[in-house]
Amino acid sequence: MKMKYLKSAVLEKDYPQDQEPEVAIAGRSNAGKSSFINTLAGGKIAHVSQQPGKTRLLNFFSVNDKYRLVDMPGYGYAARGGKEQKNWANMIETYISRRGNLIGLILVMDIRRKWSDDEQQLLDYLISLSIPMLVVLNKVDKVKQQERIVKKREIEKIFGIARVFVTSCLKKKGIKDVEDFVYKEWVELYQPIPMNEDD
């Protein structure tokens, strides 16, 4: 995969101004989101912080000049102030609800964590907007085989078998499966909305 950083943005006016399809990546601050992106890219392209919750912007990456990945700020980190949390929520909600070329969202979860209200609220919100979502159960190298099977089945009951993946960035396990699914099921099927010539 050929991936390169394009830009970071907070405000809608600063997003890339075209209709190239975009896939957002969301997850808790310690779910391994940046490591997942770096493993996809085959090298260090996203910042991996020792302190959770450092990503404060929407970070846009070009993938094979075909589509973009958008790294979203992590959630669920208690040290954030209420005002900052609200600003981040507004930024994410604006992006998800108003971005016409957003074709799907990848939720990265630490396989050791339970499905929570945060994840359910995100899922419900995406369903209301008809935006598809898949789940990456990351850090599979941290659990035993039986625990991996049980957790995958739990999440599959929510999503369906086709949209739950188990990955290990450390061992580079399962990453290609996610990449292939996103491209075949989302990117290749994307139909941009025709632009009005008078706009």
Sequence spans of domains, the chain: 3-187
Query: In this model, does residue 40 exceed pLDDT 80?
Result: yes
pLDDT-based confidence at residue 79 (cuts at 50, 70, 90): very low
Residue 144's nearest CA partner among 136, 134, 152 is 152
Average pLDDT of the chain to the nearest whole number: 87
| Region 3-187: CATH code | 3.40.50.300
Residue 2 pLDDT:
87
What are 20's two structure tokens? 């190239």
Residue 86 pLDDT:
75
Between 182 and 79, the more confident residue is: 182
What are 155's two structure tokens? 């999440």
Question: How far is the C-alpha of 177 from the C-alpha of 48, rounded, in Å?
Answer: 23
Residue 185's nearest CA partner among 106, 87, 114 is 106
Between 11 and 74, the more confident residue is: 11
160 dihedral zone (left: phi>0; alpha: psi -120 to 50; beta) = left
Residue 122's nearest CA partner among 139, 104, 137, 99 is 104
Q: Which residues pair with 26 in a beta bridge?
A: 107
Residue 38's nearest CA partner among 47, 30, 25, 29 is 47
Rounded to an integer, the average pLDDT of 20-42 is 92
Most confident of 43-47, 48-52, 94-98: 94-98
| Cβ-based burial of 161 (10 A; exposed 0-12, middle 13-18, buried ≥19) | exposed
Residue 199 pLDDT:
46
E-only strand ranges, 14-142: 22-27, 58-63, 67-71, 102-110, 133-138
Residue 129 pLDDT:
95
- pLDDT per residue over 122-144, tens digit each? 899 999 999 999 999 999 999 99
- pLDDT per residue over 160-181, tens digit each? 777 999 999 999 999 999 999 9
